[in-house]
């Protein structure tokens, strides 16, 4: 083990022109490492293993810190002429990942977490800070090795290895659960359940990845918090494999966070040093290469073959191996994504059936047949002032037929089905989560978990302490109060309100665009422009909304993170939850405001002919088509959902990295063979430094939460949404897998027993979805007016005459001056009476144009439907929630069995200790008499018996 006065061992440089410094931890010492220790007998440099090891090829690199180094100017000029160095610089720049597409998660990667308070420090000051920090790491028992002769110019690396005694000490301190020697049989349930499970497993065998960690285990090791006093309970036959690479890196990261740098009182660990630029990056290493003939078998390569390949899209994910390599938090995300995608299959099938039902019954739909029948000869009032003229209802035939595909009786059934589906999904995930907690030994995790303070919080506390040095007693602990954060809270409220107002204003701007472009197209002299005005306006407006949503998503992510930073949360968990909440609010409002307008406001704030509602002067509010706004809502949902998935997921995550790679190859002075040869000579820590930093799981979760809202909130208007979500997620799983395995540095393994605040957001969305779908069915679609007409006003109990019933009469002489059509003879005859969709009294009535009694009857029916639908579905959902237990019965029994076995194990241990103590005492009694007789007189009344000592 290296101590404070020991030497660092730098990796020998590959080229003579690269400086190789043998750096001593004590600058005043003149000792150096003997050259023969780094070179062979013939003088050639020793070639260390290219894997994650020290230069001796035995000690594993558990963590790497990178920092900027300044070389002499002559060497910098000399090294700048090498084409491969230029290539490496461009390679690193081109492979850097986007980090602005969503809010960052500071707990996941200290390099990302630290960027919020970066400052420029003098290079000497940074070097002194590094030296002090590294001395403190040595005192903590870690072993260090420097590499300042790497092929990445201007970057030095500090490789960190945790020896066995440090791993044991920290594992005990962190209360890490480790498998003991004790194993027991795992029973999945009753005999019938077990047979069904085995049958299903055999049937689905081709769908399971060829990974041992993913296979069901018949036996399980009993796990217990690691203790150095109870090492005999654990299987320590192979110490190198007892703590896997994920656990080793997380242990070292805890040491780094806890180690203080006293030159700056507020620096608590690696996060603050990264923030100040003392170190430029910090990351654990990947296990090895995934491509190439010489790539040794490792978990990363296995993940690439069985998970991160599009050719295995139909297989289950190797969740056990994902957890083993990336940690519980990443494993839970992919497990949740897998359950969500799996549950989308029945929803997609039912949605397609509902859509096909609409296609099959469109020719039998009486209202659309009446609209398409030219014999009705219904003349409609103009859709805009002056520029628009009278039009025939038969021209809306296509829209009416298309609306029936999504507005039919099956839609109500599908809305109820999706509400219950959301509850079943949440229950299924809770049970799956509990099963994973049991398998991964997380059942007791989180009860005594403590979180470190963030570096910025410590800095602010230090500033407050210095200000209050004289006024505050030394015994009183200084902390940030609500009063200290009040300006930040006010800024957050004002900025959030302002951003939401901006979103509303942009949506209103798109409304004005639709109104003005419709009038412009009506005035156009080109027949092609006038042929399909409605479709043109709908589609272009939806595309504009999509582009605005994508742009504002990026802006809102940065604003949410800035606001959260202003609030100075105390811990990483608090920072993450506040950031997620702000980002969700802004992105949810951004994505759903245009949809909410189309669903609930468009066509209801219009007025009537002769008394229309105007905004911004002469802009008349737009009306719905005769078949309702449901078709336009469907178009907006379809374009927004597909556009976000296609552009944000595929273009941003696939296209941009490939474009950067193409540009890098065009600019590079090396061909593909030279590039491949150079990549082979890089050490593992150099290859990982080129990869992009891990920015957390928030972007991935946020993307799926917004999609879940699209699937559930307005599913009554778009039954194909689950199908599109399913197809996207099948690609998304493999895309994320490829990104985690190939393009990102390995994240710090973080433990978690659930998905945190995301579950609460999902549950809230599923509750809101019931209310939203109730209003969509009753107010946006024509389902309720059709029911009311059929059972109250129809003469024969059919839908014949429904279209005429929904149209009111208007006398064209009642137009306001300047609003009548410029071309009143557009249809070839003079129009006296035109029709418009509303329930109002005719002009010859005693109360012309007042709302009719049919309007109030339908309104009462709409409100009654909302109340009944909401309560019935909520009651059914709660019943399903109550019916399905959160913890599977077999898991509950196994957890109880584990507790009993653990008690038995400790009872046996205590019994063994007592027997051992008794044997030692007897042995002492057997050997003590001879010596005792020489020194002490034996009492006569109690002679020592030797009969039992033979």
The DSSP symbol for 814 reads: G
Mean pLDDT to the nearest integer, 410-437: 89
Instruction: Please state, in angstroms and as integers, the Cα–Cα distance from residue 772 to each residue in 73, 227, 456, 592, 765, following that order.
Output: 67, 54, 42, 12, 10
pLDDT digits (tens, 9 = 90+) for 639-691: 888 888 777 766 777 777 677 667 766 665 556 666 667 667 788 888 888 88
Q: Dump the DSSP string for 218-280.
A: SEEEEEEE--GGGGGGB--S-HHHHS-HHHHHHHHHHHHHH---TTSTT--SHHHHHHTTSSS
- What pLDDT, on the 0 to 100 scale, is given for residue 761? 92
pLDDT of 4 higher than 50: no
Mean pLDDT of 190-203: 74
More confident residue, 81 or 488: 488
Q: Which residue has the higher pLDDT, 889 or 279?
A: 279
pLDDT of residue 43: 42
Please count the other Cβ atoms lying within 10 Å of the Cβ belonging to residue 140. Answer: 16
Instruction: Report pLDDT for 74.
Output: 41
SS (H, E, C) 812-834: HHHCCCCCCCCCCCCCCCCCCEE
| 465 compared with 790, residue with greater pLDDT | 790
What confidence tens digit (pLDDT) does each residue in 32-69 have?
Answer: 333 233 344 444 444 455 568 888 878 889 999 998 88
For residues 2-8, average pLDDT: 42
Q: Kindly tell me the number of DSSP H helices and DSSP E strands found in the chain.
A: 32, 14
Alpha helices in 362-396 (DSSP H): 366-372
Could you say which DSSP state residue 50 is in? S
Mean pLDDT of 886-896: 81
DSSP state of 144: E
Q: Which residue blocks in 682-827 are alpha helix, DSSP H?
A: 684-690, 698-713, 721-738, 757-775, 783-788, 802-806
pLDDT at 268: 56
The arithmetic mean of pLDDT across residues 208-216, rounded, is 68
Whole-number Å distance between alpha carbons of 365 and 368? 6
Which is higher by pLDDT, 84 or 463? 463
**pLDDT(857) > 50:** yes
As a whole number, mean pLDDT of residues 479-487 equals 81
Higher pLDDT, residue 469 or 936: 469
Inter-CA distances, 538 with 397, 591, 598, Å: 17, 17, 11
Residue 473: per-residue pLDDT? 60
- Distance separating the N- and C-terminal Cα atoms of the chain: 47
- Dihedral sign for Cα atoms in the order 469, 471, 476, 479: negative
Percent of the chain residues topping a pLDDT of 90:
19
Nearest-CA neighbor of 323 among 827, 752, 848? Answer: 752
Tell me the average pLDDT across 740-746. Answer: 89
Q: Are strands 63-68 and 611-612 parallel, antiparallel or unpaired?
A: unpaired
What is the rounded average pLDDT of the residues 543-549? 89
**Residue 775 has what DSSP assignment?**
H
Residue 114 has pLDDT above 70, yes or no: no
Q: What are the tokens at 26?
A: 């004590």
* Residue for token pair 């009063």: 483
Per-residue pLDDT, 124: 76
Q: Residues near 559 by Cβ (< 8 Å), separated by ≥ 6?
A: 495, 499, 586
- What is the predicted pLDDT for the residue at 215? 54
Angle at 619 between CA 613 and CA 620, to 5 degrees: 40
13-17, 161-165, 249-253, 617-621: least confident range? 13-17
Q: Which of 446-450, 703-707, 739-743 has the lowest average pLDDT? A: 446-450
pLDDT tens readout for residues 292-341: 656 678 888 889 988 988 888 888 899 989 999 999 999 999 999 999 99
At 282, the pLDDT band (50, 70, 90 cuts) reads: very high
Length of the chain as a residue count: 950
For residue 96, the model assigns a pLDDT of: 41
Average confidence (pLDDT) over 911-923: 76
State how far the Cα of 866 lies from the Cα of 776, in Å rounded to an integer.
9
Determine if residue 182 is left, alpha or beta; phi over 0 gives left, psi from -120 to 50 gives alpha, anything else beta. beta
DSSP 621: P
Beta strands 155-161; 143-147: pairing state? antiparallel
Q: Higher pLDDT residue, 565 or 27? A: 565
**In the predicted structure, residue 945 carries a pLDDT above the cut 90:** no
Q: What is the mean pLDDT of residues 592-610?
A: 86
pLDDT mean across residues, the chain: 78
pLDDT of residue 267: 55
Of 633, 641, 634, 619, the C-alpha closest to 513 is: 619
Tokens matching residue 186: 């795992």
Per-residue pLDDT of 125-160, as tens digits, reads 788 888 888 888 998 899 998 888 777 778 889 999
- One-letter-per-residue 3-state SS of 398-423: HHHHHHHHHCCHHHHHHHHHHHHHHH
Q: Write out the two tokens for 310.
A: 């599009």
Choice between 293 and 17, residue whose per-residue pLDDT is larger:
293
- Say if CB 285 and CB 684 are below 8 A apart: yes
Q: Which residue has the tokens 């996207």?
A: 728
pLDDT at 852 over 80: yes
- Which strand (E) or helix (H) includes residue 93? helix 83-94
Instruction: Reply yes or no on whether the pLDDT at 455 is more than 50.
Output: yes
773 vs 912: which has the higher pLDDT: 773
* Phi, psi dihedral angles at 293 (to 5 degrees): -70, -30
> Would you place residue 93 in the very low, low, confident or very high pLDDT band (cuts 50, 70, 90)?
very low
What is residue 416's predicted lDDT score, i.e. its pLDDT? 86
User: Could you tell me the pLDDT band of residue 943, with boundaries at 50, 70 and 90?
Assistant: very low
pLDDT above 90: residue 585:
yes
Query: 310 near 301, Cβ under 8 Å?
Result: no
- Over residues 111-118, mean pLDDT: 50
Contact of 878 with 888, CB cutoff 8 Å: no
Report how far residue 88's alpha carbon sits from residue 681's, in angstroms, rounded to the nearest whole number: 12
Q: Supply angle C-alpha 804, 810, 815, rounded to 5.
A: 155
Question: Are 242 and 178 a contacting pair, CB within 8 Å?
Answer: yes
Supply the pLDDT for residue 322.
92
Q: How confident is the model at residue 77 (pLDDT cuts 50, 70, 90)?
A: very low
The radius of gyration of the chain's CA atoms, rounded to the nearest angstrom, is 36
Beta bridge partners of residue 65, listed in sequence order: 158, 282
The angle formed by the CA atoms of residues 23, 24 and 27, to the nearest 5 degrees, is: 110
* β-pair partners for 53: 60
Distance between CA atoms of 83 and 798, rounded to whole angstroms?
A: 81
| Residue 569, pLDDT above cutoff 60 | yes
Predicted local confidence at residue 345, as pLDDT: 94
């Amino acid at each position: 083990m290296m101590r404070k006065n020991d030497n660092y061992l730098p990796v020998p440089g590959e080229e003579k022109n690269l400086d190789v410094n043998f750096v001593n931890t004590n600058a005043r010492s003149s000792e150096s490492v003997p050259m023969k220790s780094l070179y062979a007998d013939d003088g050639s440099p020793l070639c260390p293993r290219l894997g994650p090891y020290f230069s001796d090829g035995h000690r594993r690199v558990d963590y790497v810190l990178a920092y900027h180094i300044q070389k002499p100017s002559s060497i910098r000029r000399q090294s700048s002429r090498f084409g491969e160095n230029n290539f490496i610089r461009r390679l690193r720049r081109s492979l850097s990942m986007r980090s602005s597409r969503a809010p960052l998660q500071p707990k996941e990667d200290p390099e990302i977490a630290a960027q919020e308070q970066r400052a420029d420090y003098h290079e000497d000051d940074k070097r002194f800070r590094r030296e002090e920090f590294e001395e403190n790491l040595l005192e903590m028992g870690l072993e260090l090795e420097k590499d300042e002769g790497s092929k990445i110019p201007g970057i030095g690396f500090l490789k960190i290895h945790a020896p066995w005694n440090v791993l044991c000490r920290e594992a005990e301190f962190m209360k890490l659960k480790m498998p003991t020697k004790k194993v027991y049989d795992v029973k999945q349930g009753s005999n019938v359940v077990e047979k069904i499970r085995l049958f299903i497993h055999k049937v689905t065998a081709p769908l399971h990845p060829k990974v041992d960690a993913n296979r069901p285990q018949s036996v399980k090791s009993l796990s217990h918090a690691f203790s150095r006093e109870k090492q005999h309970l654990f299987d320590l036959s192979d110490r190198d494999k007892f703590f896997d690479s994920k656990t080793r890196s997380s242990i070292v990261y805890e040491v780094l966070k806890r180690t203080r740098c006293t030159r700056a009182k507020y620096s608590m660990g690696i996060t603050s040093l990264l923030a100040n630029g003392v170190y430029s990056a910090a990351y654990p290493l990947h296990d090895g290469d995934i491509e190439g003939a010489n790539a040794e078998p490792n978990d990363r390569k296995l993940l690439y073959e069985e998970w991160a390949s599009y050719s295995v899209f139909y297989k289950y994910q190797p969740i056990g191996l994902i957890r083993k390599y990336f940690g519980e938090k990443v494993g839970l995300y992919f497990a949740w994504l897998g359950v969500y995608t799996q549950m989308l299959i029945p929803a997609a099938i039912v949605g397609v059936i509902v859509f096909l039902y609409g296609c099959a019954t469109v020719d039998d739909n009486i209202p659309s047949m009446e609209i398409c029948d030219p014999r009705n000869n219904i003349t409609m009032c103009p859709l805009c002032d002056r520029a628009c003229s009278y039009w025939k209802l038969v021209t809306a035939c296509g829209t009416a037929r298309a609306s029936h595909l999504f507005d039919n009786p099956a839609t109500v059934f599908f809305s109820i089905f999706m509400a219950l589906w959301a509850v079943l999904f949440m229950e299924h995930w809770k049970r799956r989560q509990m099963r994973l907690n049991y398998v991964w030994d997380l059942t007791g995790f989180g009860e005594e978990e403590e979180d470190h303070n963030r570096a910025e919080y410590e800095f602010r506390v230090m500033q407050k302490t210095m200000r209050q040095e004289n006024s505050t007693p030394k015994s009183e602990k200084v902390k940030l109060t609500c009063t200290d954060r009040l300006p930040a809270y006010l800024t957050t409220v004002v900025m959030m309100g302002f951003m939401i107002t901006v979103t509303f204003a942009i949506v209103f701007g798109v409304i004005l665009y639709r109104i003005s472009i419709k009038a412009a197209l009506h005035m156009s002299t080109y027949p092609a422009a006038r042929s399909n005005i409605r479709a043109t306006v709908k589609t272009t407006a939806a595309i504009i909304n999509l582009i605005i949503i994508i742009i504002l998503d990026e802006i809102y992510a940065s604003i949410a993170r800035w606001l959260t930073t202003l609030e100075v949360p105390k811990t990483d968990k608090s920072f993450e939850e506040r950031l997620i909440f702000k980002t969700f609010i802004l992105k949810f409002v951004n994505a759903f405001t245009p949809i909410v307008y189309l669903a609930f406001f468009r066509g209801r704030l219009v007025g009537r002919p002769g008394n229309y509602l105007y905004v911004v002067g002469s802009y008349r509010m737009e009306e719905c088509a005769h078949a309702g706004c449901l078709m336009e809502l469907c178009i907006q949902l379809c374009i927004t959902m597909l556009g976000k998935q296609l552009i944000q997921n595929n273009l941003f995550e696939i296209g941009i990295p490939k474009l950067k790679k193409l540009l890098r190859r065009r600019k590079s002075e090396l061909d593909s063979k030279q590039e491949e040869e150079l990549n082979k000579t890089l050490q593992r820590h150099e290859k990982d430094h080129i990869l992009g930093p891990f920015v957390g799981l928030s972007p991935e979760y946020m993307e799926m939460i917004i999609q879940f809202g699209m699937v559930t909130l307005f599913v009554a208007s778009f039954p194909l949404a689950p199908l599109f979500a399913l197809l996207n997620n099948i690609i998304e799983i493999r895309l994320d897998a490829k990104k985690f395995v190939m393009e990102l540095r390995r994240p710090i393994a973080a433990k978690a027993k659930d998905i945190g605040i995301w579950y609460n957001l999902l549950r809230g969305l599923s509750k809101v979805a019931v209310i939203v779908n109730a209003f969509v069915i009753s107010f946006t679609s024509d389902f309720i007016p059709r029911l009311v007409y059929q059972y109250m006003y129809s003469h024969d109990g059919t839908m014949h005459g429904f279209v005429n019933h929904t149209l009111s009469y208007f006398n064209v002489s009642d137009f306001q001056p300047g609003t009548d059509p410029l071309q009143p003879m557009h249809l070839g005859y003079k129009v006296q009476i035109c029709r418009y969709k509303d329930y109002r009294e005719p002009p010859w009535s005693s109360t012309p144009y007042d709302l009719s009694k049919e309007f109030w009857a339908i309104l009462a029916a709409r409100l009654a439907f909302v109340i009944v639908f909401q309560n019935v579905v909520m009651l059914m959902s709660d019943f399903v929630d109550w019916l399905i237990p959160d913890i599977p019965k077999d898991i509950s029994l196994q957890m109880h069995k584990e507790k009993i076995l653990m008690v038995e194990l400790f009872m046996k241990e205590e019994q063994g200790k007592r027997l051992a103590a008794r044997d030692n005492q007897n042995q002492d009694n057997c050997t003590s008499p001879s010596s005792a007789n020489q020194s002490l007189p034996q009492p006569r009344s109690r002679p020592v018996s030797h009969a039992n000592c033979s």
